[in-house]
Amino acid sequence: MNKGSVIILAVAVLLVLGGCGGGNRLISNRSGDVESGELILDSLPTRPEESEYLLGHGDALDVLFLNESDLNQIELKIRPDGRITLPYVGDIRAAGLPASAVDSAITARYSEILVNPDIAVIVRSFRPEVVYALGEVGRPGGYEYRSGMTLSNVLALSGGLTKASKRNEILVMRRVASDHIIGIQIDANDLLSGKRFDLDIPLQAFDIVYVPKSRISRGQDFMLAIKDVVLTPTDIYLRGWQVANVKILYDFYRKSGGVY
């Protein structure tokens, strides 16, 4: 796990130490400083546009060799583990990096077996942006993000809430900076009953909507709840988060008082 992933993991683990319980609130963790307070719906923190596109699982790359065209790789897709495989040099991590950084990494690797390799990495196609619905919903997983998508849209797409769901503690996790993660806690009873339509908050690409159980007793139960996006029990890649560990989600919920 790279340094950025470690920072994000540490921030998420501590995010909700500032309090627990149902209702509507905003939890913020910036570099380990935790705050929990009133949810002001017209000023929710948003994720800024990134200055350079970061590659993710499902993006397809062309890797072109100027003087060794027999090594060219066309429409090479980034795997769920965030890596690509190239002839003679093996696996190279691509997810979470800009194309220019992957270009440099590939060039460095081939410099060990070729003289002055001239390589270009081109993004051929982009995987659609997604949001995640995890936990106690009918169909946990990732869903294509569309402009204007709201919390109720994602809950509907994912099959709605199960009978075991803890409706007053739905959590929307959003990374707004490398060292800043927020949790927007929503009481779905108010939203779904029609009392508070303003709680149908707009989502951003790569938001994680997590619906907890009334009671989760083991980390294994949590991993089963998010099985649709888990590659192996300890290796998960959530595109847009550059994190490869299910612990980010389990610890986030555990620290909020949801695990007994």
pLDDT at 177: 76
Instruction: Let me know: does 55 contact 97? Beta carbons within 8 Å.
Output: yes
- DSSP string for 158-206: TT-B-TTB-GGGEEEEEEEETTEEEEEEE-HHHHHTTS-GGGSPBP-TT
Domain membership flag for residue 54 = no
CA 118, CA 120: separation in Å to the nearest integer?
7
Domain membership flag for residue 18 = yes
* 90/171 same-domain check: no
Residue-range definition of the domain harbouring residue 215:
3-49+128-258
pLDDT at 239: 54
Match 């500032």 to its residue by tokens.
Answer: 18
* 174/225 same-domain check: yes
Q: What is the pLDDT along the chain (260 residues), one digit of tens a residue?
A: 444 434 333 434 444 344 455 678 888 777 767 677 788 887 787 877 777 888 888 899 999 999 999 999 999 999 888 899 999 999 999 988 899 999 999 999 999 999 999 999 999 998 888 888 888 899 988 888 999 999 999 999 999 999 888 888 888 888 887 677 888 888 888 888 888 888 998 999 888 898 887 654 444 444 444 443 333 322 344 555 544 444 555 554 454 444 33
pLDDT at 80: 80
pLDDT at 181: 80
* 21/143 same-domain check: yes
* 159/83 same-domain check: no
Q: What is the DSSP letter of 68?
A: -
pLDDT at 231: 34
CA 31, CA 111: separation in Å to the nearest integer?
38
* 160/252 same-domain check: yes
* 152/30 same-domain check: yes
* 11/79 same-domain check: no
* 41/145 same-domain check: yes
How many domains in the chain? 2
Here the CATH number for the domain that contains residue 85 is 3.30.1950.10
pLDDT tens for each residue of 66-116: 999 999 999 999 988 889 999 999 999 998 889 999 999 999 999 999 999
Cβ burial of 90 (10 Å; 0-12, 13-18, 19+) is exposed
Residue-wise burial string across 112-150, b where 16 or more C-beta atoms lie within 10 A, e elsewhere: eebeebebebeeeeebebbbbbbbbbeebbbbebeeebe
Q: What letter represents residue 258's amino acid?
A: G
Domain membership flag for residue 55 = no
* 195/222 same-domain check: yes
Token readout for 12 is 């998420």
pLDDT at 214: 61
Closest CA to 8 of 237, 232, 227, 216: 237
